[in-house]
Amino acid sequence: MPTPENTHPSPPPQIHLKRNARRRIRVPIHTPKRFYGFGIPGLDVNKLVGKLIVVEGADGSGRSTQLARLVEWLEGCGHATIQVGLKLSTLVSEELEKAKEGNVLSHTTMSLFYATDFADQLENIILPALRAGYMVLADRYIYTLMARDMARDMDEAWLRNLYGIALVPDTVFYLNVSAEQLVQRNFAKNQTLDYWESGMDLGLSRDWFDSFVKYQALMAAQFKRLQTSYGFTMVDGNRSPDAINADLRRKIEQLLIGK
Amino acid sequence: MKTFAELKFPGRLIAVEGLDGSGKSTQIYLLKRWLQLQGLKVFFSEWNSSELVKSATSKGKKRELLTPTTFSLIHATDFADRYERQLVPLLRAGYIVLCDRYAFTAFARDTVRGCPPAWVRAIYSFAAMPDLTFFFKADLEVSLQRILDSRPELKFFEAGMDLRLSRDPYESFRVFQGRILEQYLAMSREFNFLEMDANQAIEAQQSVVRELVASRLNLSAFASPSS
């Protein structure tokens, strides 16, 4: 509350901006978007002005570290960001969790369940955010889902049609980390291997360590296969987080100026 | 696309399709009873009934969270679960499997909701075709009346309210059902539907159904071991 002595309006405080803080915030250049296949009925892609940036890679490949840094950097540059991941939809995430615990679903069912989850997030989070001009950072996208299914012998053409609903991202990074590194990082974090990330449902080996290494190699092979048609930017994930992040930023900077 | 017979399954799958209120559920129930009473191996499966998927579907429907794409995918998930865990194993074991609705329901509904027909069909391409598909063709007004007489409270998606055809659920339901009927009629020849006159008496229809099943299937091959 103002006291009687200082009711006179005082001059506004002088704002001293640091040189780089005064720099104008760059509005990203709009580049046309499209869907991989049939897309979402009735959706106008021309209204999607934000950018969709995807980071792919196995558990332990450093995805979350890289994404956290990208968010900080982008927000520092004045861009609104939003993060999305797999299995987070309000519609089916609970049921998916239950299904995974019981391990009772067939591959086609599991595949469609994940696709439902993806579609729910695509329509309710990703597309609205892109319409509003956000930088959408996706912690994995359809490629992980497709690679998992392909490792389980699902038909690739069937998967391509199914995921034809997906928007083509502005850029996709794949953090490529050797299986040996992944084992070490997973142990350093959890001291245990995850059932699904070890592909135990595939019966590759009764030994978890063995199965993990085999499954990760199988997944890497699927990603390589997908890379040829979907064209990810392969990033050497065996390096330091700083070195990796510098790579990602360089690529994203290009993207923001429409290249 | 091949039928289970063409794929050399020992079992046979019979599906019924038609609008809500066409009387198809009554007819397939009576068919099931007739087959059971002859001591045959019969299994009945209903659209949208997989336990695990059901909770997600009903949540989506209650909260009106579903879009045409997620509506389509969640029903495909339900179908895949029943198909792979129940229908295929039973057909391998030589059962007569009766389905109240099959993939054609999705082809019709999802297309009316705006999903690309080729996308929907490719999703269901993992499923073989029924050996017999009965299509219960009633006049639109007859089906509407049957539903509206017995159950005046129409649910959001059931009435096709998500399509914004009308603010009045009854009017919306009419238009929605009319469009689904058009889809069924357009598919009838392509998928060899056995068209039934669903305006007839229940008994008259059931005699036709039983005659057709007896002539197309060698029923004695499906005898239950216990009988």
- The whole-angstrom separation of Cα A41 and Cα A167 is 12
Is the CB of B58 inside 8 Å of chain A's CB atoms? no
Domains of chain B: 18-219 (3.40.50.300)
Could you tell me the pLDDT band of residue A3, with boundaries at 50, 70 and 90? very low
Residues of A with CB below 8 A from B116's CB?
38, 41
Tell me the C-alpha distance between B148 and B162, whole Å: 19
Q: Do A165 and B69 touch (CB under 8 A)?
A: yes
pLDDT band at A90 (very low <50, low <70, confident <90, very high): confident
ipTM: 0.86
Q: Is the CB of A112 less than 8 angstroms away from the CB of B76?
A: yes
Mind telling me how many Å the CA of B30 is from chain A's nearest CA? 31
pLDDT (mean) for A231-255: 95
Of A40, A98, A112, the CB nearest to B80: A112
Whether the CB of B1 is below 8 Å from some CB of chain A: the reply is no
Of B52, B60, B114, the CB nearest to A91: B60
- Identify the residue among B52, B53, B65, B70 best suited for mutation to test binding to A, counting A beta carbons within 10 A and taking the highest: B70
Which structure tokens are listed for A163? 């995921």
Asked if residue A19 has pLDDT above 60, the reply is no
Chain B CB contacts of A124 under 8 Å are 65
Using the Cβ of A153 and the Cβ atoms of chain B, whether some distance falls under 8 Å is answered with: no
Partner B contacted by A103 (CB < 8 A): no
Q: How many CB pairs under 8 A join A and B?
A: 89
Per the CB < 8 A criterion, the answer to whether A168 and A181 are in contact is: no
Q: Please name the member of B53, B84, B116 whose beta carbon is closest to the beta carbon of A108.
A: B84
A171-192: pLDDT as tens digits = 999 999 988 888 888 888 877 8
Q: pLDDT class for A86, splitting at 50, 70, 90?
A: confident
CA distances from B9 to A57, A115, A258, B74, B129 (A): 41, 30, 56, 27, 12
Best B74, B111, B157 member to test A by mutation, with max A CBs in 10 Å, is B74
Can you tell me the distance from the alpha carbon of B180 to that of B188, in angstroms, rounded to the nearest whole number? 12
Report the pLDDT value the prediction gives residue A12, as an integer from 0 to 100. 57
Residue A94 near chain B (CB below 8 Å): yes
Q: Can you tell me the distance from the alpha carbon of B6 to that of A28, in angstroms, rounded to the nearest whole number?
A: 57
pLDDT over 80 (residue A5): no
B122–A contact, CB cutoff 8 A: yes
- How confident is the model at residue B137, as a pLDDT? 95
Q: Touching check for B40 and chain A: CB below 8 Å?
A: no
Condensed to tens digits (0 to 9), the pLDDT of residues A135-175 reads 999 999 999 999 999 999 999 999 999 999 999 999 999 99
**How far is the CA of B183 from the CAs of A48, B171, B179, B188, in angstroms?**
33, 19, 6, 9
* Residue among B85, B114, B126 whose CB faces A41 most closely: B114
Residues B40-71: tens digit of each pLDDT: 999 999 998 787 777 777 777 777 788 999 99
Evaluate if residue A228 carries a pLDDT over 60: yes
Report the distance separating Cα B129 and Cα B140, nearest Å.
Answer: 26
pLDDT in tens, B70-83: 999 999 999 999 99
CB-CB under 8 Å, A41 with B118: no
Taking an 8 Å cut-off on Cβ atoms, the answer to whether B123 and A162 are in contact is yes
Nearest CA in chain B to A121: B70
Give the pLDDT score at A192: 81
User: Among A33-37, A83-87, B50-54, B172-176, which range has the highest average pLDDT?
Assistant: A33-37
**Average model confidence (pLDDT) across chain A:** 87
- For chain B of 227 residues, list the mean pLDDT of each consecutive stretch of 10: 96 96 94 97 91 76 84 94 94 97 97 97 98 95 84 81 90 93 96 96 97 96 83
What the block records as the tokens of B62 is: 């209650």
Give the whole-angstrom CA distance, residue A111 versus residue A26: 40
Query: According to the model, what pLDDT value does residue A196 have?
Result: 84
Domains of chain A from N-terminus onward: 34-256 (3.40.50.300)
- In order of B182, B187, B194, B214, B222, the CA distances from B140 in angstroms are 10, 17, 18, 30, 37
**Greater pLDDT, A259 or A108:** A108
Per the document, the length of chain A is 259
pLDDT digits over B116-128, tens only? 999 999 999 999 9
pLDDT at res. A14: 59
Q: Give the Cα-Cα-Cα angle B195, B201, B204 (nearest 5 degrees).
A: 65
Query: How many Å is the Cα radius of gyration of chain A?
Result: 22
Give the tokens for residue B202.
């229940």
Of B52, B55, B119, the CB nearest to A161: B119
Whether the per-residue pLDDT at A20 is higher than 60: the answer is no
Structure tokens at B17: 């399709």
pTM of the model as a whole:
0.86
Alpha carbon of B167: minimum distance to chain A alpha carbons (Å): 20
A5 Cβ neighbours under 8 A, 6+ residues apart: none
How does DSSP assign chain A, residue by residue? ---GGG-SPPPPPPP---TGGGSPPPPPPP----BSSS-STT--GGG--SEEEEEE--TTSSHHHHHHHHHHHHHHTT--EEEEESS--TTTHHHHHHHHHHT---HHHHHHHHHHHHHHHIIIIIHHHHHTT-EEEEES-HHHHHHHHHHTT--HHHHHHHGGGSBPPSEEEEEE--HHHHHHHHHHHHSS--TTTTTGGGTS-SSHHHHHHHHHHHHHHHHHHHHHHH--EEEETTS-HHHHHHHHHHHHHHHHTT-
A202 touches chain B (CB under 8 A): no
Distance (Å, whole) CA A69 – CA A56: 15
pLDDT at B227: 56
Helix, strand or coil, per DSSP, at residue B178: helix
